[in-house]
Amino acid sequence: MSENLILTVEGGDVTIKLRPDLAPKHVEQITRLAKEGFYDGLTFHRVIDGFMAQGGCPDGTGMGGADAHIPAEFSDEPHVRGVASMARAMDPNSASSQFFICFDDATFLDGQYSVWGQVTSGMEHIDALPKGEPPREPGKIIKATVA
């Protein structure tokens, strides 16, 4: 049985199939943070049309994170529409809580970021997020649950 991360956003639910086969430490961190309520109320602070929507920063600036960093778990999984991957700083082992969901082909990121999930339903709600860096009125994660 595979687990899903469900992000409830203003438009509805986004279901992301978790991929512990690709990034077990990332999936463990994300599910722990979701169960603790870490993501509830956070915004998508960087939404670039045709590229990706990034969220999971506790201060909404793209500079914050959770309590622990995760070592890189790069794979051959391509960064294509609906892929959920972990954001990080220059250090490949600096991922914490921020993640992004690809709008379109972003395979130039392959092998440099850790893919941890795939949107299986609700991608239209990600498509509808306000665009910008940051958006004037950023879209919010109302609640993140693991099911």
User: By three-state DSSP, how is residue 30 classified?
Assistant: helix
Q: What is the mean pLDDT of residues 30-55?
A: 98
Tell me what pLDDT residue 44 has.
98
Confidence of residue 2 (pLDDT cuts 50, 70, 90): confident
Q: Are 84 and 118 in contact (CB under 8 A)?
A: yes
Tell me what pLDDT residue 72 has.
97
Q: How many structural domains comprise the chain?
A: 1
Q: What is the mean pLDDT of residues 77-97?
A: 97
CATH number of the domain that 38 lies in?
2.40.100.10
Structural domain including 31 reads 4-146
Residue 13 has pLDDT above 90, yes or no: yes
Cα gap 21→16, rounded to integer Å: 14
Confidence of residue 130 (pLDDT cuts 50, 70, 90): very high
Measured distance between the N- and C-terminal CA atoms of the chain, rounded to whole angstroms: 10
Give this prediction's pTM: 0.97
Residue 1 has pLDDT above 60, yes or no: no
> Quick one: what percent of the chain has pLDDT higher than 70?
99
Q: How far is CA 73 from each of CA 70, 83, 95, rounded to the nearest angstrom? A: 9, 15, 10
**DSSP label of 108:** G
The Cβ of residue 9 has, within 10 Å, a number of other Cβ atoms equal to 21
Q: What is the mean pLDDT of residues 43-56?
A: 98
Q: Are 7 and 141 in contact (CB under 8 A)?
A: yes
| DSSP strand pairing (44-48 vs 83-86) | unpaired
Cα gap 21→14, rounded to integer Å: 21
